[in-house]
Amino acid sequence: MIYLDHTSHTQADPAVLAEFCRVEKEFSANPMSAHRAGEEARAEFDRVTAAMAYLLDAKPEEIIFTSGATEANNMAIKGLTRAYRHVGKHIITTCLEHPSVSSPLAALRDQGWEVELADIQPDGTVDLEHIAALLRRDTVLVSIPWVDSELGAIQPVKAICELLEKHPHCRLHIDGAQAVGKIDLSFSGSFERIDTLSFSSHKFHGICGSGALLKRQDVLLDALISGGVSTTVFRGGTPALALAASSYKALELAVSNQNERLKKVRTLRCSIVDALEQYPRVRINSPKEGSPYILNVSVQGIKGIEFQEMLDERGICVSVKSACSVPGTPSRPVFAVSRDKKNAVCSWRIGLSHCTKFEEVERFLKAFDECYNEG
């Protein structure tokens, strides 16, 4: 079996699993307990938090550990809009959002919030002029993915931050699930206008069920999960020390090897694109300057789900849209950049990783050729 769906999930690195086991065995107490064992666990939790904050150019108190990006996105969107509802009920977002963002926004719309979509340009980036035109005095939130999960388009986050400088009462949430650990980013410096940023460790070879929300220290946020005293007032529950430690280990490995990994993935992507562009009915939907980890493709005349099934029969695993999306519907991001519904229905996605082998790409291309001619 050849796994080319690393955008949906990556296998945990052995070093990450080893770190999880080490911490789970070494620290048996609740980090919030007052006895010596609890104090030792809390010290380790604080060490891990500080180390992760350093990698993300954030402050330790700005990290809220979660069960992943879905919880973090819900926490940010629901928490920010509730905390700042006195500003207004107008929200700006895009059609590029992952369901963990679009779903809570849809729930808010049902509760009376007004949600507007900013236009997407042919290269997959958000139209900054349209965002500027949509911004109002009662705009409470702008939500943008740093890298969208279907096309891999890298959004102009710095320019969006600059745009919002004139709107100090508007909060900015960034879904960083496909960006953290894969591209250069910072929670501070030129990006201090970002109020919240989410990520999930299983997107960069961490353990599924762990992630975090970065929240600017002076930003208000209503808690999504209430409970007893914990390491943060913004999320109740017993701190998952081993998951936090394994998340840090995964991020440390990703950041320290980022350039090397990126170089390999770019080479893999280029070899695939060069080969697929030789087929007349193939359309590459992902932008050339997007994340090399994500490659969206359409084959004219064959629905994406059908091509996926043909590849699956040959032991090749790819995906149609996000794994969390509703099946059988056109890809909204692909339609946004192509303005072609048939093309959007025919699209599917390859998710690459530094773990992907060159021989696996060769086998995929052979299987693709068979499916293309069969279809």
Q: Residue 66, SS3?
A: strand
- Contact 55/251 with Cβ under 8 angstroms? yes
- What tens digit of pLDDT does each residue of 107-135 get? 999 999 999 999 999 999 999 999 999 99
Q: Please give the pLDDT value at position 327.
A: 60
- Same domain for 133 and 198? yes
The contacts of residue 81 (CB under 8 Å, 6+ apart) are: 89, 91, 108, 113, 140, 141
Residue among 195, 174, 169, 194 nearest 86 (CA): 169
Amino acid identity at 60: P
Domain limit, last residue, from 214, 233, 256? 256
pLDDT at 50: 98
User: DSSP 3-state assignment of 369?
Assistant: helix
Residue 317 β-bridge partners: 3
- If asked whether residues 101 and 216 sit together in one domain, one would say yes
Residues 197 and 58 in one domain: yes
pLDDT at 227: 83
Q: Is residue 183 located within the same domain as residue 323?
A: no
CA distance 293 to 353: 6
Q: What pLDDT sits at residue 114?
A: 98
Per annotation, catalytic residue among 161, 317, 324, 355: 324
Q: Which two tokens stand for residue 193?
A: 């206008």
Q: Is 95 a catalytic residue?
A: no
Q: Which tens digit of pLDDT belongs to each residue from 221-269?
A: 999 888 877 888 899 999 999 999 999 999 999 999 999 999 999 999 9
Domains: count for the chain: 2
By CB atoms closer than 10 A (0-12, 13-18, 19+), residue 209 is middle
What is the sign of the dihedral through the CA atoms of 3, 4, 9 and 13? positive
Instruction: Tell the residue number behind the tokens 């042919």, with chain if given.
Output: 122
Residue span of the structural domain in which 365 resides? 2-10+257-374
Same domain, 18 and 149: yes
For position 326, what pLDDT does the model report? 58
Indicate whether 28 and 159 sit together in one domain.
Answer: yes
Which residue, of 256, 286, 302, is where some domain finishes?
Answer: 256
Q: How far apart are CA 216 and CA 219, in angstroms?
A: 5
pLDDT per 10-residue tile (average), the chain, 375 residues: 97 98 96 96 98 96 97 98 97 96 97 97 97 98 97 97 95 98 89 96 98 96 86 91 98 98 98 98 97 98 96 97 63 93 96 98 98 90
Last residue of a domain, one of 256, 289, 324: 256
CB-based contacts of 160, cutoff 8 Å, min separation 6: 126, 128, 131, 142, 144, 172, 193
State whether 264 and 231 are in the same domain: no
